Structure 1
Amino acid sequence: MPAYSGSTSQTQPHTQTVSVPPALAVPVIEAAFPRRLHPYWPKLQEKSRTWLREMRLMPPDKVERYADSLCYTDLVAGYYIGAPDELLTAIADLSSWFFAWDDRHDRDSVHGRTAQWRWLCRGLHGALNEPRPYLDHRDPLVAGFADCVLRLYAFLGPSWNARFARHFHPVIDAYDEEFRNRRTGTVPTVEAYVELRRLTFAHWAWIDLLEPTARRELPRPVRKHPAYRRAALATQDFSAWYNDLCSLPKELAGDELHNLGISLIHHEGMTLEQAVAEVHRRVTRCVTEFLAAEEEVHSFAAQLADGSAEGRNLADAVESCVFNMRNWFSSVYWFHHESGRYRVDSWDDRSIPPYVTEGTVAENKLVGEE
């Protein structure tokens, strides 16, 4: 049986002729959120394939077979319109790394590789603080992360870099919490999962990256403006919950415990159909909340444009950020229906994706050595 009735069929990227199952359809996204794509995208695909091979995050044969169809570069090229090409490439590599890290997390959890997982987490925390010494780390995930972080730190300077690190350290810790939950069979409550998901999705790190895209760091009062924060949170919650909605069949097949739908089933006594409907309701609410906050951000930007050159520059940066917050919706939405990552009905084994290689970490025998 298909994961969802009317499951998606394979299609070429960006044609939007893909069939969206009714349980996953969000008509307002299709009608009111045009899809945009950074013009550097075709080159980005090529660079991403090269980077995945060089960093050893996927075996070369799997890079050639699966990398383009996973659509990781498509996702990011729709998020950060206006970014310099070098920045977009670094963000795209971070996104590809994130998916590879997520896959490792799953396999380490399944196989109980606790010591190896802890070694990985220590390396990631170290690379976030001081990336250069970790570029040659034994674990490809640590070396790849260090490479991305070092490149991202080149754009806006020490204060932005420190903030990005402050936002990403808890992401690593949240993945570690999920690892422990997997090993003990603990399904978080709905409330606990909502907070945990905001970390495992790296909400504020992705929002931070809107600033180098806009080519300036936003002052704290601007970042903390209530409308700006509501708009940012709505884009990220939408993305996290929509990912949960679309990945629910994959995660049920793989005995995952961390999905809003799984928490609703386990703790609220919902059926699968009820849980899908509730996640869909939350997804749609995020769109409504964003549209209201977006109007307030535009008004706030107009106030910032006080006639001075600095005011105009700051207003333009805020407009760039909220423009790309809007772009998250369409990019995330179509990505989930184009990427082979969620096409469980086509896999030989629904519990493990075909693009994941169990032996990828076998060479890292020296657990505990840095």
Structure 2
Amino acid sequence: MPPDKVAAYADSLCYTDLVAGYYIGAPDELLDAIADLSSWFFGWDDRHDRDAVHGRTAQWRRLCQGLHATLKHPRQHLGHPDPLVAGFADCVVRLSSHLGPRWNARFARHFHPVIDAYDHEFGNRRTGTVPGVEAYVELRRLTFAHWVWIDLLEPTARCELPDAVRKHPAYRAAALATQDFSAWYNDLCSLPKELAGDEVHNLGISLIQHEGLSLEQAVAEVHRRVGDCVGDFLAVEPEVLRLADGLDDGSAEGRKVSAALQSCVFNMRNWFSSVYWFHHESGRYRVDSWIDRTLPPYVSDAAAPEFSEIELAENNPSGGEE
């Protein structure tokens, strides 16, 4: 943002405040990195919107390629000329310093499909394609980066969970409930902005387009689904806590993993209140105060700088295509 926009809007967007309630107990340096990733995500989302609106397809493709390459070799992209690539590299490097190579590989494995899903949305936006309801639900689980945010619960707890715990049906159900709540509540609060901007990716818009619901009915249905997520989490939470209790076998490792799982469930629960608070405090959703309801006042329509082939090569030492 230009300095005047920073002064007017940055604090009121509450991007960094958002994650403070998600990841209670995280070391300060980890919380800083997660907060920066969250802020980066909103910036990426806004670039996606502007590139789609203005048909900047080649530029968008270069950005996606740069982000994929960054997940493979983050340190090689710290000086990338596109600030979104360089910023992502900075976040990945900092996040990867906490749990080790297995967790780092999983984080990258979960983030690659997020980039691809955003690219899929770019195509839908350019063609005006509104996904069907079920297709949208699955796409949203990727564009919201469900499993990335769940992965970050583990470094917060200072412990990588065993596969048997992470893949346990109760753990996955609890995680999915928190993330679906967050994504769909975001859709609910974003609906006025996205209708004004001719967006095609919103649960309410899919319900209107494919289920024949009125705007009021669609809002009520999204609200119902959001509420069901809370009920789904509360129903499965006791089973996850029992699983945590069972992991404490008296050994030091057992106590550590048990405490880590309890931390993860505690912070899953915190997603509900944090997401609710954020959407009513952040200036991102106050469309009635914008001069142009389709465009947040802190977002620039300018394209990212174009880069020469030499610049791209210098920022991709591995020799692969950016």
Bin for the TM-score computed over the shorter chain = over 0.9
Backbone CA RMSD of aligned residues: 1.1
| Match of residue 10, structure 2, among 32, 43, 67 | 67
Give 1:197-276 correspondences, 5 Å limit. 197-276=140-219
**AA partner of residue 233 (structure 1):** L
Aligned residue in 2 for 1:314: 257
**AA partner of residue 84 (structure 2):** L
Aligned residue in 1 for 2:269: 326
Residue 366 of structure 1: how far off its partner (Å): 3.8
Residue 59 of structure 1: how far off its partner (Å): 2.5
Deviations 1:285-315 (A, max 9, x none): 0000000111111111111111221111110
Residue 142 of structure 1: how far off its partner (Å): 0.3
Matched, 1:86 2:21: no
2:302 alignment partner, SS class: helix
| Match of residue 176, structure 1, among 108, 119, 122 | 119
Measure, in 1, the Cα distance between the counterparts of 2:228 and 2:277: 18
**AA partner of residue 21 (structure 2):** G
Where does structure 1 differ by over 6 angstroms across 4 or more consecutive aligned residues? none
1:95 alignment partner, SS class: helix
Q: Is the 8 A contact 2:81 2:307 kept in 1?
A: no
Give 1:6-25 correspondences, 5 Å limit. none
Aligned residue in 1 for 2:319: none
Aligned residue in 2 for 1:125: 68
Moved more, 307-316 or 107-116: 307-316
Aligned residues: 312
Matched, 1:356 2:299: yes
**AA partner of residue 44 (structure 2):** W
2:23 alignment partner, SS class: coil
| Match of residue 98, structure 2, among 155, 165, 185 | 155
Deviations 1:23-52 (A, max 9, x none): xxxxxxxxxxxxxxxxxxxxxxxxxxxxxx
Measure, in 1, the Cα distance between the counterparts of 2:100 and 2:89: 17
Aligned residue in 1 for 2:318: none
Q: Is the 8 A contact 2:36 2:91 kept in 1?
A: yes
Measure, in 2, the Cα distance between the counterparts of 1:366 and 1:336: 40
Matched, 1:195 2:138: yes
1:105 alignment partner, SS class: helix
Deviations 1:124-171 (A, max 9, x none): 001111101111111110000000001000000000000000000000
Matched, 1:288 2:231: yes
Deviations 1:67-90 (A, max 9, x none): 110000111101000000000000
| Match of residue 109, structure 2, among 139, 142, 166 | 166
Residue 208 of structure 1: how far off its partner (Å): 0.1
Residue 233 of structure 1: how far off its partner (Å): 0.4
Matched, 1:303 2:246: yes
Measure, in 2, the Cα distance between the counterparts of 1:229 and 1:244: 22
Task: Compute the TM-score of the two structures, normalised by the length of structure 1.
Answer: 0.83
Deviations 1:236-292 (A, max 9, x none): 000000000000001011111000000000011100000000000000000000001
**AA partner of residue 68 (structure 1):** D
Q: Unpaired runs of 5+ in structure 1?
A: 1-57
Measure, in 1, the Cα distance between the counterparts of 2:78 and 2:87: 7
Identity of aligned residues (%): 79
**AA partner of residue 166 (structure 2):** R
**AA partner of residue 75 (structure 1):** L
Residue 60 of structure 1: how far off its partner (Å): 2.7
Measure, in 2, the Cα distance between the counterparts of 1:60 and 1:170: 34
Residue 360 of structure 1: how far off its partner (Å): 5.4
Residue 365 of structure 1: how far off its partner (Å): 4.7
Give 1:130-141 correspondences, 5 Å limit. 130-141=73-84
Measure, in 2, the Cα distance between the counterparts of 1:274 and 1:82: 40
**AA partner of residue 72 (structure 1):** Y
Structure 1 pair 347–167 and aligned structure 2 pair: CA distance change class (3 A)? same
Residue 64 of structure 1: how far off its partner (Å): 2.1
Measure, in 2, the Cα distance between the counterparts of 1:228 and 1:114: 39
Residue 359 of structure 1: how far off its partner (Å): 2.0
